[in-house]
């Protein structure tokens, strides 16, 4: 599995680097026939293979500009109406909303996209579409914690886990979106109490990324940690024996929000407001929503396909049989400011 995936990724990456001139400012193709300028906050080998595959199928060259979501949003804003950006791709619905809120994305109506992507995983006005899902769930020390102890999000903040929780910082968009979802479900008062419980339960000040939280559970620093599902799955199937060993003791739990399922988020994309190659941007977005592309991303990056009609491939399939909350991911972004305020008031730094 690892060798085959690595070969596919390597071939795709090599082809992309030849074709795309990665890192250079792309020039629009005025004819709109042979190029698409992709601004992406995703930086995985799997994505490089995807773009090479798209070029192979369509002949359209993918020019890739990389950065984190906020950097790319600032860049597109500064470029103004003359921006060469055609398609913006990033992780987390909250980050997509930031681009939407800055008027950097345009509505797109596509039968291909609406058929492939469920309504709760896309913007109601078509400004962005989810392409793959990830769940924000709990990694736990299986020698100290029972699954029944963490089958709801409320329990993360319960006295049972005083001083036993590891979590990354409040400015992580993953945490902002989770708290935004809780506000949507519970309202600010109950969610504020939850954030105070989270702070009381912290085993240490927030630091590092999701894999650091998982490793901290294994090291005995804490008993539970918030993480995105794909980080854990990636560690469980890593070529690094040390990472695989971590998941011998540390297991993954999918808590439920109000009995409706685990909180899910997306990776997704939208067509830039001033896209000079709009038709090709839509073609690339439709390709990224295709069963082939969703399967490639799931196999390589261990996210879950957005479409319920696309089965998760190995090794992601071993974790895919969970109930996902039906809440629209479009609700997370508008709640970010309120989420940040509640977390700051609670002392979540």
Known binding-site positions for Fe cation: 43, 230-231
Question: Tokens 């309202």 map to which residue?
Answer: 187
Q: Which is nearest to 181 in space by CA: 93, 252, 306?
A: 93
Cα distances (Å, whole numbers) of residue 31 to 28, 34, 110, 276, 280:
9, 8, 22, 9, 11
> What length does the chain have?
349
Whole-angstrom distance, CA of residue 288 vs CA of residue 293: 5
> Which residues carry a binding-site annotation?
43, 230-231
Whole-angstrom distance, CA of residue 53 vs CA of residue 48: 9
Positions of E strands within 78-192: 87-91, 129-141, 165-166
Rg value, the chain, Cα: 20
CA angle, residues 290, 295, 296, in degrees to nearest 5: 100
DSSP 211-280: HHHHHHHHTTS-SEEEEEHHHHHHHHT-S-HHHHHHHHHEEEE--BSTTS-B-EEEEEEEEBTT-TTHHH
Whole-angstrom distance, CA of residue 229 vs CA of residue 240: 18
């Amino acid at each position: 599995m690892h060798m085959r995936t690595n070969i596919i990724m390597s071939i795709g990456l090599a082809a992309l680097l030849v074709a795309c001139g990665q890192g250079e400012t792309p020039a629009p193709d005025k004819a709109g026939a042979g190029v698409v300028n992709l601004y992406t906050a995703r930086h995985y080998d799997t994505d490089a293979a995807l773009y090479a595959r798209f070029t192979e199928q369509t002949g359209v060259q993918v020019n890739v500009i990389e950065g984190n979501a906020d950097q790319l949003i600032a860049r597109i804003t500064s470029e103004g109406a003359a921006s060469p950006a055609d398609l913006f791709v990033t992780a987390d619905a909250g980050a997509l909303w930031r681009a939407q809120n800055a008027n950097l994305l345009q509505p797109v109506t596509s039968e291909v996209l609406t058929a492939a992507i469920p309504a709760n995983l896309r913007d109601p006005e078509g400004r962005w579409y989810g392409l793959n899902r990830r769940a924000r769930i709990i990694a736990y020390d299986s020698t100290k914690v029972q699954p029944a102890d963490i089958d709801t999000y409320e329990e993360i903040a319960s006295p049972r886990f005083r001083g036993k929780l590891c979590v990354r910082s409040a400015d992580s968009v993953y945490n902002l979106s989770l708290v935004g979802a809780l506000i949507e479900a519970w309202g600010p008062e109950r969610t504020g109490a939850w954030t105070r419980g989270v702070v009381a339960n912290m085993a240490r000040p927030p630091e590092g990324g999701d894999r650091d939280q998982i490793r901290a559970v294994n090291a005995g620093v804490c008993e539970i940690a918030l993480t995105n599902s794909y980080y854990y799955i990636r560690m469980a199937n890593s070529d690094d024996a040390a990472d695989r060993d971590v998941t011998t003791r540390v297991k993954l739990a999918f808590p439920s929000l109000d009995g409706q399922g685990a909180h899910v988020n997306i990776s997704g994309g939208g067509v830039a407001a001033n896209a000079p190659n709009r038709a090709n941007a839509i073609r690339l977005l439709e390709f990224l929503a295709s069963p082939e592309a969703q399967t490639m991303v799931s196999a390589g990056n261990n996210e879950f396909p957005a479409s319920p009609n696309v089965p998760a491939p190995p090794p992601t399939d071993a974790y895919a049989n969970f109930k996902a909350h039906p809440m629209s991911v479009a609700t997370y972004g508008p709640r970010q400011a309120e989420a940040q305020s509640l977390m700051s008031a609670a002392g979540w730094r």
